């Protein structure tokens, strides 16, 4: 790996960091974790949240960085918790979501991810990359791996497993975050290559 091919990920979530590091390694990119306090605005749009966090982090560090924000969108709950997933997980947990859904047979849901890259150049445009995985909410928690709502979400990949029952490598084949990160990785490598010419 050539020196300098590194991406700085602003996150306090070590699980997200490990997933990002594994995915970006496929592109020959090293990933460094920056645990930095940023403002997580309350908004109905993942892009707006990720864009704001990336811009703030880039200004604070004077570095080129990327951030990631994700949400679980449940059809029967009209898209709830969506962009508020982190807060809802902290307050209701997976058990609270299962309780809200105990009387419904409509289990369709999807995870969505937005990766935002901000250059150290304050005038540069924020680049956004997206990933989505369709699936369903299972009736009880299954698995001990992963984090967040992973134990209650089963992707429509005919694996018969929730994200929490998968190894990191398995999850990276299907996850919304991995899809967004791969799009980012492909773009970042092209950008890096152009900047070295």
Question: What is the full per-residue pLDDT of the chain (197 aa) written as tens digits?
Answer: 344 589 999 999 999 999 999 999 999 999 999 998 877 788 889 999 999 999 999 999 999 999 999 999 999 999 999 999 999 999 999 999 999 999 999 999 999 999 999 987 666 789 999 999 999 999 999 999 989 999 999 999 888 999 999 999 999 999 999 999 999 999 999 987 666 55
Render the burial of 4-20: b for 16+ CB within 10 Å, e for the rest.
ebebbbbbebeebbebb
Whether the bond into 81 is cis, omega within 30 of 0: yes
What are the φ/ψ torsions at residue 48 (nearest 5 degrees)? -65, -40
Q: Which residue has the tokens 């709502």?
A: 149
Strand 6-10 relative to strand 30-34: parallel, antiparallel, unpaired?
parallel
Q: Give me Rg for the CA atoms of the chain.
A: 17
CA distances from 86 to 89, 124, 197 (A): 5, 29, 41
The sign of the CA dihedral 166, 171, 174, 176 is: positive
Nearest Cα residue to 180 out of 50, 44, 42, 30: 50
Q: Please give the Cα distance from 89 to 34 (Å, whole number).
A: 23
Domains and CATH numbers, the chain: 6-196 (3.90.950.10)
Q: What is the pLDDT of residue 3?
A: 47
Active site members: 69
Residue 167 Cα to chain centre, angstroms: 17
Q: What is the pLDDT of residue 25?
A: 95
The H or E element spanning position 191 is helix 176-196
The sign of the CA dihedral 74, 82, 132, 141 is: negative
160: left (phi over 0), alpha (psi -120 to 50) or beta: left
- 94's tokens: 């997976």
């Amino acid at each position: 790996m050539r020196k300098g091919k590194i991406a700085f990920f602003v996150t306090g979530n070590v699980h997200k960091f490990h997933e990002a590091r594994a995915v970006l390694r496929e592109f020959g990119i090293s990933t460094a974790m920056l645990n930095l306090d940023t403002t997580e605005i309350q908004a109905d749009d993942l892009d707006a949240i990720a864009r704001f966090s990336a811009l703030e982090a880039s200004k604070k560090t004077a570095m080129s960085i990327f951030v990631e924000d994700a949400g679980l969108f449940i059809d029967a709950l009209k898209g709830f918790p969506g962009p508020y997933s982190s807060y809802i997980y902290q307050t209701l947990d997976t058990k609270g979501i299962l309780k809200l859904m105990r009387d419904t047979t409509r289990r369709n849901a999807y995870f969505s991810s937005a990766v935002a890259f901000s250059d150290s150049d304050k005038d540069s445009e924020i680049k956004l990359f997206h990933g989505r995985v369709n699936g369903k909410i299972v009736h009880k928690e299954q698995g001990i791996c992963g984090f967040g709502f992973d134990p209650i979400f089963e992707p429509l990949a005919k694996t018969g497993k929730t994200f929490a029952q998968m190894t990191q490598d398995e999850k990276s084949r299907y996850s919304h975050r991995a899809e967004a990160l791969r799009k980012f990785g492909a773009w970042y490598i092209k950008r890096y290559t152009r900047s070295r010419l």
